[in-house]
Structure formats: structure tokens, C-alpha cells
Amino acid sequence: MTTLDAALARVSQLVATLPAQPFVNGAFQATMHGDALDNVSPRDGTLVNRIARCNAADVDNAVANAKATFDDGAWRRMAPRDRKRLMLHFASMIEARAEDFALLESIDTGKPISATRAFDVPQAINTLRYYAEAIDKVYGEVGPSPSSRLSYAVHEPLGVIGVIVPWNFPLHLAMWKIAPALATGNTMVVKPSELTSLTALKLAQTAIEAGLPAGVLNVVTGLGHEAGDAVARHMDVQLIAFTGSERTGRQLLRAAADSNLKRVSFELGGKSPHLVFADWQDLDTVATQAAWGIFYNQGQICTAGSRLLVERPVMDTMLERVVAVARTIIPSDPMDEATSLGALSSKGHLEAVMAQVERARADGLRIVCGGQVARAETGGYYMLPTVIADVPPDHPLAQDEIFGPVLCVTSFETDDEALTIANGTRYGLAAGLWTASMNRAHRFADALVAGMVWVNGWDSCDITMPFGGFRQSGFGRDRSIHALEKYCDIKSVSYTFG
Ligand code: NAD
């Protein structure tokens, strides 16, 4: 048996343990109606398994269990050190099954197995440990009161959290929300993308085996406008922690307004500028980071450096080197250990990305490399890394998120022009620049409208730093100690003494 055959055989064994049912109150439970959805792999378009198509009644059942668990206090009133111990044990159990999580994530998303092994799964474990470790180290505050009074402020969990996440980093992004929500004593209903539900179900199963109380971490699968909408409109859900598209974000705001005025936190899209100034000498390093800054995860990253803005004198050299790197990145089978670029998430998404490329072609833009689907004979959803040069800053390709392996390159002449182009979209998620000038770096770090700015290195932050956007890229922050705040209310308590 080859390594690939062994991996596929293991996937079959694993999905057989994940029935087409939601995971509620510590176990898989039949849906109210038995409806299910086909789950196909982007790798070859074949059926992996079926997942439950949960409806409002299923969501109601999950929320009721999460609420009962919150109300009984078994989780939120647990001593912080004990909650920490359980979460650390949970992390160790995921680690012990890391290969299984990586296999499920790759077959479901089309991501290279090398990436799910090296990034998605270890990062999820790291996130869980980070927030577990924080539990008994974050303090409340005592107010400056007169001596006849003692006033203090405590953070209290909100209750039932609705976690709604997309398909590009299913486990990793879900954990950015699950871990701080758990750490602060909340219970939750997680709604993964209908395209990628496997690792969320496996996670909920593992949580029970790790000893988390039943009903703390529940998972409902199904469609956004059915299961997702029911979570968003539920009167007993106190917060929707969401990562996904702007379109869905707008629907969630309406659902919150129409129901219980629940809170929402949004990590939405981006069109992040990656600026290269002529004073930076090492253009090879920039070319590699610029290419991987857009092509990693098949370009399906909200923080992708999708707009490469290059100072005129180094434009030709930069373009040549980025294209040279792009040509070395060959789409291949995600389950093959040697693959660095896998499949796009779905047939529909591949078609949407290719439609943008065709638009560029029709508008006469210069497609320097790629611009084609690949490996169509496999039945999977692959495309070549694509570089489009001289894209006018106001062209839709430079304005709208493509969410695929498509890099738009534009030149600029002056710092002012660079800043105007960089800030000239409706987004404000991330931005990066390469310059030898500390003065310029500082000026741009201040003036760029972005939740994250990276100087002389793309995507150089980790769990310790806040993650989130300005403008229509969203509001609220994942990662860092700040993420704990959105899962809590603050209560002020005051004692007056005789
Ligand atoms: P999406 O908005 O279509 O779906 C995200 C989730 O929302 C899925 O679970 C989906 O089922 C659910 N959903 C859809 N409609 C819903 C509704 N009416 N009510 C409730 N839930 C609903 O996004 P996607 O296509 O899965 O993911 C791609 C998008 O996510 C891109 O726009 C990308 O930029 C964004 N994203 C942002 C970040 C970030 O951190 N800023 C990270 C990753 C992805």
C-alpha cells in the first residue's frame, strides 16, 4: 500500500466515525428530519461523506442544551485552574490525533497535507493552549473608592455563543473563537461551513473524550441560510462570533436586529496592499514572500497580499521575480506530501475566481502567468497561480476580493500615490511594506488604514497579537488577550461598609 493509499484508507475510517448528525450535549444526535447534504472533496470531486442538514428545530435543540449547560454552572463556575487543566488536556488529545485532524482537513478543504500538518492543526492546538494558560492569569479590577466602600469590576461570560466560520481554515479559525469563549466560561453552538464540517465534528467528539462537560461545545452542520440563520436569529444566543464574507455579515446584522439585539463580531474580507519601495535591496526575499503571500492556501486567505504595489524603478525586476516564483508553484494532489498548492474549495468557487480572470482578459489586462484551470482531468478544482500586471487601482480586480490565487500588480511613483492606492478600497484588514527607511516605515504604519501592518516581512504576527480589520473588513478582534473581552460582560459590584 502506498503512503497515499494509506492516507485515503485512514480518511475512510475516520469519516465512518462521523455520522450525518449534529453533535449536541456530548453525543451525535439524530436530526429532527433526517435530511443530509453531500460532502465532496475538492481534490477530485468525489463524495467523502454526508453531513446533517440541520434546520431551525435542530439549532433550537443545540442552543437549549448549550443554555442549560451554561445555566447549571458546571463550566462557568469551575475553578479557573480546573478549567485550564481540562482545556490543556483537550489540547493534548488533539495533538495525539494531529494526523487524523490533518487528514480530515485536507480531504475536506483541498489544502495540501503538508500545510494542515505544519500549520492548521498545530496552530489550533497552540491557540487552545494560549487561552487555557490565560485563564488563571487574567485579573479583574478594584476601583479607587473611598475607604467606606469596596468596588470591583469582574468579567462575566455572556452565555451561549454562536460561532459561524468559513471553509478556508475551518479548524484554525474556529479555534480562534472556541478557545477564548471556553476560557471565559461560555458554552457554544458552532456552525462550520457546509463545505468543511469534518474537523469541527471531530473536535466536539474529542472535547468530550477530554472531559469537557457535555453541552459546552455543540456543533450543528448545514447550510448558511438554514442552520446559520437559525443560530443568528436565536433568542438565547448572546453573540455571533463570525468569520466570513461581507454579504453574510450584513445578513447577520439584520438577524441580530430582528431578534434579541445579540452582539456580533466580524472578521470579513480584505484586499490587502503589499508595498515594495525601491530602497529595499533584497528583492528575491520580497518576491518569495509576495508570491506566497497570495498563493498560500490557494489564495483563499482574508489577509492575502492580493495587491502588489511596486515603486516604478524596481517594477520590472520585481514582476519578473514574482512570476519566476509563481511558475515554480505547481497545483497538485493535496493528499500528496510533496504538494504545496492544492485545490480550491469548491467547483462554484473555482468558477467564480476564473470569472474574475476572464473579466481581466476581456478588459485587456496583462495576464503575465497562469490564468488557467489545471488538472481538470482529476475532477478536482485546481488553477494555476496567476499574476496580472498594470492593474488600474480603480479596476474591480483591484477593488474586490477574489479569494483565489490571483495577484494584481500596480506601480506607483511617489509615497503619496502609494498611500492613496493602498488605502483606496473599502477594506482595511492587513497591509505590508518593504523599505530601508525607518522614517517611511513609521509614517506608513501610522497612515495605512488596516488592522494589521507588517514592515519588512509579510504576515509576521502570531497568536499574541490582535487580528482583525478596519472599515468593511469587520470589527472585533481575534487572537491575543484582547479576544477574551468580546466573550464577556463587565459587572461592577460595590460594597458600602458601616
Ligand atoms: P460565507 O460568508 O459565505 O460563509 C461563512 C459561514 O457563514 C459559513 O458557515 C456559512 O454557512 C455561514 N452563512 C452563510 N450565510 C449565512 C446566513 N444567512 N446566516 C448565517 N450564517 C450564514 O463565507 P465563505 O465563502 O465560507 O468564506 C469566504 C469569506 O470569508 C471571504 O469573504 C473571506 O474574506 C472571509 N474570511 C475572512 C477572514 C478574516 O479573518 N477576516 C478569514 C477567513 C475568511
Find the 217 Cα to ligand 1 centroid distance in Å.
20
Cα–Cα distances (Å) from 27 to 64, 189, 388, in that order, read 15, 13, 49
- pLDDT in tens for each of the 498 residues of the chain? 899 999 999 999 999 999 999 999 999 999 989 999 999 999 999 999 999 999 999 999 999 999 999 999 999 999 999 999 999 999 999 999 999 999 999 999 999 999 999 999 999 999 999 999 999 999 999 999 999 999 999 999 999 999 999 999 999 999 999 999 999 999 999 999 999 999 999 999 999 999 999 999 999 999 999 999 999 999 999 999 999 999 999 999 999 999 999 999 999 999 999 999 999 999 999 999 999 999 999 999 999 999 999 999 999 999 999 999 999 999 999 999 999 999 999 999 999 999 999 999 999 999 999 999 999 999 999 999 999 999 999 999 999 999 999 999 999 999 999 999 999 999 999 999 999 999 999 999 999 999 999 999 999 989 999 999 999 999 999 999 999 999 999 999 999 998
pTM for the predicted model, two decimal places: 0.98
- Determine the pLDDT at residue 1: 80
Phi, psi (5° rounding) for residue 166?
-90, -170
468-479 exposure pattern, b = at least 16 Cβ within 10 A, e = fewer: bbbbbbbbbbbb
Find the 472 Cα to ligand 1 centroid distance in Å.
14
Find the 272 Cα to ligand 1 centroid distance in Å.
18
Distance CA 301, CA 315 (A): 25
Query: Hey, what domains does the chain have and what are their CATH numbers?
Result: 3-267+474-492 (3.40.605.10), 273-460 (3.40.309.10)
Tell me which residues have their CB closer than 6 angstroms to ligand 1.
Answer: 164-168, 173, 191-194, 224-225, 228-229, 232, 243-245, 248, 251-252, 267-269, 302, 401, 403, 429, 469, 474
CB 340 within 8 A of CB 304: no
- Determine the pLDDT at residue 40: 98
Pocket test for ligand 1, best of 54, 164, 251 (most atoms within 8 A of CB): 164
- Determine the pLDDT at residue 269: 94
- Residue 269, exposed/middle/buried by CB under 10 A (0-12, 13-18, 19+)? buried
Q: Which amino acid is at 313?
A: P
Ligand 1 atom nearest residue 301's Cα: 43
Nearest to 39 by CA among 14, 6, 58, 61: 14
- Report how far Cα 308 is from the mean position of its chain's Cα atoms: 22
Find the 265 Cα to ligand 1 centroid distance in Å.
13
